[in-house]
Chains A and B, each alone.
Chain A
Amino acid sequence: MSVAPPLLAVEGLTKSYGGVHAVRGVSFSLRAGEILALIGPNGAGKSTCFDMLNGQNKPDTGHVRLLGEDTTGRKPREIWRMGVGRTFQITATFATMTVRENVQVALISHGKQLYNLWGSAPNFDRGEAGRLLELVGMGGYADRPCGELAYGDLKRLELAVALANQPKLLLMDEPTAGMAPRERVDLMRLTAQIAREKSIGVLFTEHDMDVVFEHADRIIVLNRGTLIAEGSPAEVRGNPQVQAVYLGEGLLYDAQHREGASA
């Protein structure tokens, strides 16, 4: 019997710099519509791992497969063409263009019109651009210069841009870093809602444990380049290895304390 390949399959990903093993034999998979958090203390290899998925970095060994197709070592723009949208830890947007134009650029690229010299870009897929902006709650900002936006709004815009190619997978590097607590909750709720509606798989790295435990369906934990735990939020939270290695003694007390308080 044949089983459909998972949306994302990571097998034995390894990367070292000189003698330092940044990532060692990391394997995991992700289903469509699932929200997976990649966590770990600083220096655990999260960013290295993340960059190997989105094409910024090449693994020494191991494979990344998207719906069965090997994407290992491909360029970011090729991976995007295969249906992977992404947002950056520090937002990257087109600062001198308006909010709508930012989305239109992604739509133009998706429609393979990048070398169209004569068409009218201001009217390009205007309706779709508007819908995407409405989706992330930025409909009223369409004509604002992107450079004027507040940071939280930039994050929403990035989400709209990342959704422009109707992705199967969203890669979000610390999506809530630098945001106010209220904005964090809003953004992650929005992301989760969109992911479930459109059956998009989401992989995100995150430092804020509140965000992780509230929104992730499943969590994988990296420490010193190796995967030390994987499971539902409850399982990971209860995993003694994770508590010892990741949270540390002091935080362990804190975590239990908070759990007790909320129960």
Chain B
Amino acid sequence: MAFYVVQFLTGLASAASLFLVASGLSIIFGVTRIVNFAHGAFYMIGAYVAFTLTERLSGAFGFWGAIVIAAFAVALIGVLVEMVLLRRIYHAPELFQLLATFGLTLMVEDLVVLIWGPDDLVGRRAPGFKGAIDFFGQNIPSYDLFLIVLGPVVLGILWLLFQRTRWGVLVRAATQDRDMVAALGVNQKWLFTSVFAVGVFLAALGGALQIPRDAVHHAMDLRIIVEVFVVVVIGGLGSIIGAFVAAVLVSELNAFGILIFPKISIILVFLVMAAVLIVRPWGLFGRPEAPARKTPGLTVNPWRPLTSNERLASLAAFVIAATLPLFAGNYALTVGSEIAIFVIFAVSLHFLMSVGGLASFGHAAYFGLGAYGVAFLAKMAGLPMIVCLLLGPLLGCMGAAVFGFFAVQLSGVYFAMLTLAFAQIVWSIAFQWVSVTGGDNGILGVWPSSWAASPSHFYWLALGVAALVTIALRAMVFSPFGYALRATRDSLLRSEAVGINAKRIQWTAFVIAGTTAGIGGALFAYLKGSVFPDNLGISLSVDALVMVLLGGVETVSGAVIGAIVYKALNIWLVSQTDLSKLVLGGFIVLIVVVFPKGIVGMLEMLAQRRRKTSPPGSPLLAKPIESAE
């Protein structure tokens, strides 16, 4: 019995940090409507800065002072970020905001390694809370008791701040209607900046308070942000009480989940989240999100199928790509195969994101599931390659069917957060369930059959599949289903009013996209000869997002171009620098701020400008050619 009590108290102690970070995210979202992906990064910086300061400053005052100073210092960094970056993108679509803050996260991950090194850092114990308290033979660290008290205290302070101060009233008003608050003469800029500072302060404080409990390392940002997303999805974005209750719930589920499913404890949290979403899609304390704002400046040209000239051009590009093995070496062919596979991956996400308006932040889950599907079939069942390639993607299909069902109940940022959380869950299973998946060691020796073993044959296979998938998905965009999907993206209200079951259409699209990604993953497993948890990791999901964005999220053929350019750049970059995350992150931020229409979008705009000045009937390509490689 005492053991369970101690487990319960451990859970409560973990909830404190989680609550601090989640409430910060919630407050920022409430006012600015930005889901700050970089919140985990601020949490991590908070921990690192606090580590350094506690090492330098001595004594009890030094320790506690260092924690507070660290939080303030990181809040200052937050102010800087808000003023330099976020102010430029408050009116951008929410997808762009998520991506920009994700780009920041990537940059921070490399920066902390640059500054503090790649090793785990173990911080000092907190003065005054070094010991443990005996509870019927079980030890409870006294620092845990401190954290258990701290959580409700912070909740109380936040409550007072929001109920009793002028600033709090403004924040609550802005959460309800920020345009109205601006119309009443409140300086919105400084309100947003101060809110962001408070949110970042809370995240950094959460990170700083973790150092006596946990080692500081450069991957702690992603771990906390996924948990925080789960917390705000359960508690409801924008609700501080919700963040508190959900943080306790999630922490307790983690604490007891380990006892019930020691291997895959995260399953329990997932089940609870799924249950909450079915009963209350907006979280326990959340309110339904107002319909997404229409974004000025990003209008979409009506899509149309390719003209016969454009079809010929695409065919020519495909034929040229197919001649690559005649003059290129093996390395180039391997790169070519990888690019073809990523074209498949990118067009599958494009279908979901651009056609369906559902920006998945965890699309790699289905890519990786396809890869694992192939690995299971090839290694355990010993099936031949062609059968594995056909059946492997079904694992991606099944994953998409299960997760997609829950994900499409939500939209916008909730959808993005949920897909990310799902992907992280799949990743954890692959990582933790060592007996089946091999854990971190992956599954090795997934080699293609002899007919596809040579680099040129494999390249032709990958190129052929990529072309087929691209054509099939493109045909679907202009099929009745494609129209219905675009209809649900443009107006849920109107689609329901013309008899469309929007959720079911979106679910179908999710399954199609997941299965297609699975096809890419299946090929990828054979290309690499192995599968690893990284094949369904977050960074791969983001790769896909950047490919679509780079090509142009509003175009039909952008994903293909985006995948080719991005993947080629990426392979080159990784061979050139150790700081690929820093460069990549900076690149993402740059695209969002100065280049929001992507490559194909830009070309289309230029073509349109030229068409307006040139006489009608001149043979101009409205859309650039769509090539398979």
Contact = CB atoms under 8 A, between A and B. Distances in A.
A75 interface: yes
Contacts of A143: 302
A97 B497 contact: no
A122 B491 contact: no
Considering residues A86, A88, A106, which has the most beta carbons from chain B within 10 angstroms of its beta carbon?
A: A106
A95 B495 CA distance: 12
Given A77-B496, A92-B493, A95-B491, A121 B501 contact: no
A101 B501 contact: no
A97 B499 contact: no
Nearest to B500: A109
Contacts of A86: 497
Interface in B461-520: 475-476, 478-484, 486-487, 489-491, 493-501, 505, 508
Given A97-B490, A101-B483, A122 B305 contact: yes
Interface string B290-323: 0000100001111011000000000000000000
Contacts of B300: 96, 145, 147
A223 interface: no
Contact of B302 (A98, A105, A116, A118): A98
A253 interface: no
A205 interface: no
Contact of B481 (A94, A110, A115): A115
Contacts of A76: 496-497
A114 B484 contact: yes
A23 B396 CA distance: 50
Considering residues B482, B491, B505, B508, which has the most beta carbons from chain A within 10 angstroms of its beta carbon?
A: B491
B410 to A, nearest CB: 19
Task: Please report whether the interface of chain B is mostly helix, strand, loop or mixed according to DSSP.
Answer: helix
Contacts of A106: 498-499
Nearest to A116: B480
B493 A116 contact: no
A116 B476 CA distance: 9
A117 B481 contact: yes
B501 A94 contact: no
A109 B487 CA distance: 11
Contact of A97 (B299, B483, B496): B483
Nearest to A115: B481
A96 B302 contact: yes
B484 A105 contact: yes
Contacts of A161: 494, 498
Contacts of B304: 122
Interface residues of A, number: 40
A105 B478 contact: no
Contacts of B505: 114
Given A95-B490, A97-B302, A110 B499 contact: yes
Contacts of A117: 475-476, 479, 481
Nearest to B482: A121
Nearest to B489: A96
A88 B496 CA distance: 12
Nearest to A100: B302
Contacts of A94: 486-487, 490-491, 494-495
Nearest to A171: B497
A105 B483 contact: yes
Contacts of A95: 294, 490-491
Contacts of A110: 498-499
A41 to B, nearest CB: 25
Interface string B347-387: 00000000000000000000000000000000000000000
Given A86-B497, A145-B301, A116 B481 contact: yes
B479 A116 contact: yes
A76 B299 CA distance: 29
A120 B508 CA distance: 18
A77 B499 contact: yes
Contacts of A108: 480, 483-484
B500 A114 contact: yes
Considering residues A76, A101, A117, which has the most beta carbons from chain B within 10 angstroms of its beta carbon?
A: A117
Nearest to A145: B302
Contact of B480 (A93, A98, A121, A164): A121
A122 B304 CA distance: 8
A176 interface: no
Contacts of B481: 114-117
Contact of A109 (B294, B482, B484, B486): B484
A115 B486 CA distance: 13
Contact of A96 (B480, B482, B486, B499): B486
Contacts of B486: 94, 96-97, 105
A119 B480 contact: yes
A94 B484 CA distance: 10
Interface of B: 294, 299-302, 304-305, 475-476, 478-484, 486-487, 489-491, 493-501, 505, 508
18 contacts: A75-B496, A76-B496, A86-B497, A93-B491, A94-B490, A94-B494, A96-B300, A97-B302, A97-B490, A105-B483, A105-B495, A110-B498, A115-B480, A116-B481, A122-B305, A143-B302, A145-B300, A145-B301
Interface of A: 54, 75-78, 80-81, 86, 88, 92-98, 101, 104-106, 108-110, 113-122, 124, 143, 145, 147, 161, 164-165
Given A101-B302, A105-B483, A117-B479, 9 more contacts: A88-B497, A92-B491, A95-B491, A96-B302, A96-B489, A106-B499, A113-B480, A114-B505, A161-B498
Which 5 A-B residue pairings sit nearest by Cβ, starting from the closest? A94-B490, A92-B494, A96-B300, A116-B480, A113-B480
